[in-house]
Amino acid sequence: MSSQAWINLAYLTASMLFIVAFKLMTGPRTAVKGNYLGAAGMAIAILAACFEKPVMQSVAAQGAWPLVMLGLAGVIGGVIGAVMAIKYPMTGMPQMVALLNGFGGAASTLVAGAELWNATAAAKAASAPLPAWTQFAIATALTGLIGAVTFWGSLVAFGKLEELPQFKKAWTDPNRHWINLGLAVTTLLLIWGVCANPSSNLLFWLLVIVGSALGCTLTMPIGGADMPVVICLLNSYSGLAAAAAGFVIDNSVLVIAGSLVGASGLILTAIMCQAMNRSLAGVLFGGLGTTAVANADDVYAGKVKSASAEEIAMVLEGAERVVIVPGYGLAVAQAQHAVRELANALEKRGTTVEYAIHPVAGRMPGHMNVLLAEADIPYEKLREMDDINPTFPETDVAIVIGANDVVNPAARTDPKSPIAGMPILDVDKAKTVVVVKRSLSPGFAGIPNPLFAADNTLMYFADGKKAILDLTAALSK
């Protein structure tokens, strides 16, 4: 077998390991092994790449220096990545994942740029321009574009999730659709330009610049609660960029791994959109509709009952079954450990405690699960929406912490509501609902929540963490 055949066999092994890795991600216990296998596949693919013909030829001509250079780049990147991943606090995971994702996209763009630079130099030396509309030309254009959109989109997502002051407000300039349209048309023209005239590095880098702008303008208007969709979509893009790079250099492991990631991101995007009952186009270009929204004063006037820690503790003392409903507010208040303490205190009294997790609670897919797992809450107690909804009528107390729109019964009852039809957690069916919230301010959808005014609801106005600590203290008295 030729050395190229051995390299291809190594790539095939890596590809199989990636598929098995995804397969093992279906269970919390097997997922750790899956992650190891994925890393092993990556190591095999990277080692095999060092034996590729172009690298071996330059080694033959110049000695070990190319390999030293590659090793240096690998170590620099590997150390930076590992240190970031270890040092970054667990609560910052959504922005960390966004940032890493962006680097992958940028790398794909640079690979395409470097390949094009080398190819045009070779074409010039042979004084034969690169042929137009080849696989190489088209794939190079697409890789450069998708990678640039991924990188800048991810940076903006990072800024929003990190709550940097520049990104505090979503960009809602009424002209943004025209700006996006203009950029999109320019992008299409430049793609055509690169494909028709691949010998021009200038056109490629112009495409990258316009793609970068598009990455920013597409992500900037998207607000807080829609972030899980954006994260999934950017994740998908980084995979597709890698797959496109595979078409540039005619390499199947890039195509396989890239399309696996692309498919995974697309599925998660669809799941997130479904969980919000919104279309992808609606999330990307819409903003929520401003249809006849019930007046907050009409909904709340005179009907909201506020309670103290002691009163709520009394209700909890008589409860047999308590369901805790976490939302993004829990992550902001860093109240996950306090919640664990409260659950311990309740369980000590013989109360059953479970957690109801809405698919889009938080800022990335599955955010609440990771947050509660960090506080040592066993994952068996974290139950998905469809699984726990039928049990609310038998629940004595539902405690809602930092969640709003995902428990708004208007989604079920009011067909005119902007969130009508969105699947929600039916906490209003519990015997008593305790809502821990700073104020009556609306959630991301900007609509009042009739749950807060319901007969069986007690509002507990306080910071999430302090509220839970006070509640635990009152319960332990």
Partner 1 sequence: MPSLIVPLLFADAVLPEDPASRFIRLLTVFLLAMWVGFEVITKVPQRLHTPLTSGSNAISGITAVGAIVVAGALTTGAGTLLGFLAVVLAMINVAGGFVVTHRMLEMFQPKKK
198: DSSP letter: T
Tell the smallest beta-carbon distance from residue 46 to partner 1 (Å): 6
Inter-CA distances, 208 with 106, 113, 141, 147, 351, Å: 10, 9, 9, 8, 58
Query: What's the sign of the alpha-carbon dihedral 16, 22, 27, 32?
Result: positive
Binding mask 200-239 for partner 1 (x = CB under 8 A): -------------------------------xx--x--xx
Q: Which residue stretch of 94-102, 305-313, 402-410, 422-430 sits at the interface with partner 1 (rule: CB under 8 A)? A: 94-102
Q: Does 170 bind partner 1 (CB under 8 A)?
A: no
Q: Does 63 bind partner 1 (CB under 8 A)?
A: no
Tokens of residue 200, six digits: 């021009």
Please identify, using beta-carbon distances, which residue of 174 and 378 lies nearer to partner 1. 378
3-state secondary structure of 247: helix
384: DSSP letter: E
Tell the smallest beta-carbon distance from residue 240 to partner 1 (Å): 9
405 noted as active-site residue: yes
Q: Does 85 bind partner 1 (CB under 8 A)?
A: yes
Q: Does 280 bind partner 1 (CB under 8 A)?
A: no
Which distant-in-sequence residues (6+ apart) come within 8 Å of 258 by Cβ? 239, 240, 241, 242, 243, 244, 245, 246
Please identify, using beta-carbon distances, which residue of 66 and 450 lies nearer to partner 1. 66
Q: Which residue stretch of 82-90, 278-286, 294-302, 453-461 sits at the interface with partner 1 (rule: CB under 8 A)? A: 82-90
Q: What's phi and psi for 320, nearest 5 deg?
A: -95, -30
Q: Which residue stretch of 254-262, 283-291, 443-451, 459-467 sits at the interface with partner 1 (rule: CB under 8 A)? A: 254-262
- Which residue from 412, 223, 413, 429 is spatially nearest to 328, judged by alpha carbons? 223
Q: Does 246 bind partner 1 (CB under 8 A)?
A: yes
Q: Is 436 exposed, middle or buried (0-12, 13-18, 19+ CB in 10 A)?
A: buried
Tokens of residue 24, six digits: 């093992």
Contacting partner 1 within 4-23 (CB under 8 A): 5, 11, 15, 18-19, 21-23
Determine how β-strand 321-326 pairs with β-strand 397-401: parallel
Among 9, 63, 79, 188, binds partner 1 (CB under 8 A): 79
- Which residue from 13, 121, 2 is spatially nearest to 51, judged by alpha carbons? 2
Q: Does 330 bind partner 1 (CB under 8 A)?
A: no
Q: Does 261 bind partner 1 (CB under 8 A)?
A: yes
Contacting partner 1 within 446-465 (CB under 8 A): none
Contacting partner 1 within 339-378 (CB under 8 A): 357, 359, 364-367, 369-370, 373-374, 376, 378
- What residue has token string 């090793």? 71
Say how many C-beta atoms besides its own lie within 10 A of residue 51's C-beta. 14
Q: Does 251 bind partner 1 (CB under 8 A)?
A: yes
Catalytic annotation, pick one of 226, 405, 426, 428: 405
Do 141 and 204 form a contact (C-beta atoms < 8 A)? yes
Among 6, 9, 63, 84, binds partner 1 (CB under 8 A): 84
d(CA 141, CA 238): 15
| CA–CA–CA angle 212, 216, 222 (5° rounding) | 150
Q: Does 32 bind partner 1 (CB under 8 A)?
A: yes
Size of the site for partner 1 (CB under 8 A): 122
Q: Does 293 bind partner 1 (CB under 8 A)?
A: no
Q: Which residue stretch of 107-115, 160-168, 207-215, 452-460 sits at the interface with partner 1 (rule: CB under 8 A)? A: 107-115
Q: Does 103 bind partner 1 (CB under 8 A)?
A: yes
3-state secondary structure of 433: strand
Residue numbers annotated as active site: 405
